[in-house]
Structure 1
Amino acid sequence: MKKGILKTVLATALVGIMAFSVVGCSNKSEATVDKIKKSGKLVIGTSADYAPYEFHKSINGKDTIVGFDIEIAKAIAKKLGVEVEISDMKFDGLVAALKTNKVDLVISGMNPTEDRKKSVDFSKIYYTATQYVLVRSEDKAKYSSLDSLAGKAIGVQKGSVQEKLAEEQIKDSKLQSLAKVPDVVLSLKNKKVEAAVVEGPVAKLYAEKSDGLAVSDSKFDLNPDEQGSAIAVAKGSEDLLKIINEALDELIKEKKIDQLVIDATNSVD
């Protein structure tokens, strides 16, 4: 009899703890959205050196951060009924800024890798691009495969998926990891590296806009689960993530993201 009572008490206590946990998680996620609405602004973390995703542009004499990621962030902010505030920082500091509540979300052409998923949660994929090797035009035939780049100096953005790919798939590569993509490309132009690993639309943009650069025929073996760009939020921000995914669904359904990519590409100086 006493054992039966004890089991009942323990079961009741367990249910209570589980209910409290659920409520606690719910309150946390609701507080994220409430905080944003009360502040009247959605603070986004980005690294504005990655045209056409996000980049600096002079508009009416004022330095402005633009790009198709920024337009997507504006659509999310509109759904929340708030304004966008942009926090520009180095790419490898974005996840830390999210974890320390310095930003509400991160949108910066970021791939939802398994390693990053341990620290933050991700939205659905909103854009998928391939990873390319950018070389000097004179070297395009010379560096036509990943094997041909073995042992060479390779430029990558620090903390990026491209850095990991170059390290794992270009044998004995000598990586030069820099904070910003323009610096990586400059190293390529100045012959400090033999190639640069850059995401598809970014590589094509530099090849089109810069004399002396070309996209190599080299191909990476890509993990389909880690391709594409997604928006990162702090763990436990379910309500915010729900609103982000709803906004992305609307943009994808109306095929607006493809147009945003085209518009952003065309606006690069």
Structure 2
Amino acid sequence: MKKVIMIALSILLVGVLAACGTSEEASTGSGSGENSDKKVLTMGTSADYPPFEYVDSAKGEEIIGFDVDLAKAIAEKLGYEIQVKDMDFNGLIPALETSQVDFVLAGMTPTEERKQNVDFSDVYYTASHMIVSKKGSGIESLEDLDGKTLGVQLASIQADKAEEIGETVDMTVENRNRIPELIQEIMAGRFDAAMIEDTVAKGYFEKNEDLAGFTIEEAEAEAGSAIAFPKGSELTEKFNAELVKMKENGELEELIVEWFDSK
């Protein structure tokens, strides 16, 4: 009788363990339904750059924008999901180098200096620099910045451009981490002007009638924005191939119209 009881208990125990194992395996999946097999990639960005990447507090805390939609579109084609990580712009390349993020989409220009530390995709969007100031400031040309204080975002292409302009115009250049900080400094009278990408600046003009600006005329077109990856990342070639397809089939142009022509 004891043997029969022991055998029955053993069978019961095996059944319980099997059930637990099945439950644990089900709970460790990366997602549910068709997305369960997808790997998650972390996208680094600086969510202060509408319409590229920003938070619309009236709609929630989610980071949205052109770059976010572009990342999701490419990732979907490659079988990935995207997790967006917000940080200061000057911390994006270090984040790539230390594997905190898998790639960066943040309106970043592929300068020669940056190419020493990270790899880039093809350019996906090109814009121009704009000098933004208060209406009536009298700043209508680069020469008008003489003796003035110009704000730029730290580690941005505009910071490099300001240094170049400073070779011929006697002005003070100050850095801030975020674009809204530059606008705040202008409105508070601490900065006379700021240099911001034209697409981004137009968004601030729509929100604040006290702001005005002019586009800097360039002898050569700016390098534009590209996706950044760690050196030697296999994602560079994969993302770039999909980006080329989106350019050819019109998907990229549709996203540009959606985010820039209607915002």
TM-score normalised by structure 2 residue count: 0.80
For each residue in 1:192-214, what CA deviation from the matched residue of structure 2 results, as whole angstroms up to 9, or x when unmatched? 11111001101122122211111
Pairwise CA RMSD: 2.1
Q: Distance in 2 between matches of 1:69 and 1:205?
A: 16
Change over 3 Å in CA distance of 1:243–1:68 after alignment to 2: same
Q: Does 1:108 align with 2:103?
A: no
SS state of the match for residue 231, structure 1? strand
Q: How many residues align?
A: 226
Q: Which residue of 2 is the match for residue 21 of structure 1?
A: none
Counterparts of 2:219 and 2:121, CA distance in 1: 20
Instruction: In structure 1, give the amino acid aligned to 2:118.
Output: V
1:1-269 equivalence runs, <5 A? 40-58=39-57, 62-139=60-137, 142-170=138-166, 171-216=169-214, 219-221=216-218, 224=221, 227-237=223-233, 239-265=234-260
| Distance of aligned partners of 1:85 and 1:96 in 2 relative to their CA distance in 1, 3 Å threshold | same
Contact 2:38-2:79 at 8 Å conserved across structures: no
The CA distance in 1 between the partners of 2:229 and 2:219, in whole Å, is 24
1:221 CA drift (Å)? 3.9
Question: Which secondary structure state, in structure 1, belongs to the residue aligned with residue 136 of structure 2?
Answer: helix
| Secondary structure in structure 2 of the residue aligned to 1:126 | strand
Aligned equivalent of 2:23: none
How far 1:251 moved relative to its partner?
2.0
Whose Rg is larger?
A: 2
Q: CA offsets, 1:40-84, max 9 Å, x none? A: 101100000000100012475x31100000011101211221211
How far apart are residue 38 of structure 1 and its match?
Answer: 8.0
- Kindly indicate whether structure 1 or structure 2 has the higher relative contact order, using CA contacts under 8 Å at least 6 residues apart: 1
Between the aligned partners of 1:151 and 1:257, the Cα distance in structure 2 is: 42
Contact 1:188–1:196 (CA under 8 A) maintained in structure 2: yes
Give the conservation status (yes or no) of the 8 Å contact 1:75–1:247. no
- Aligned to 1:53, the other structure's residue is in SS state coil
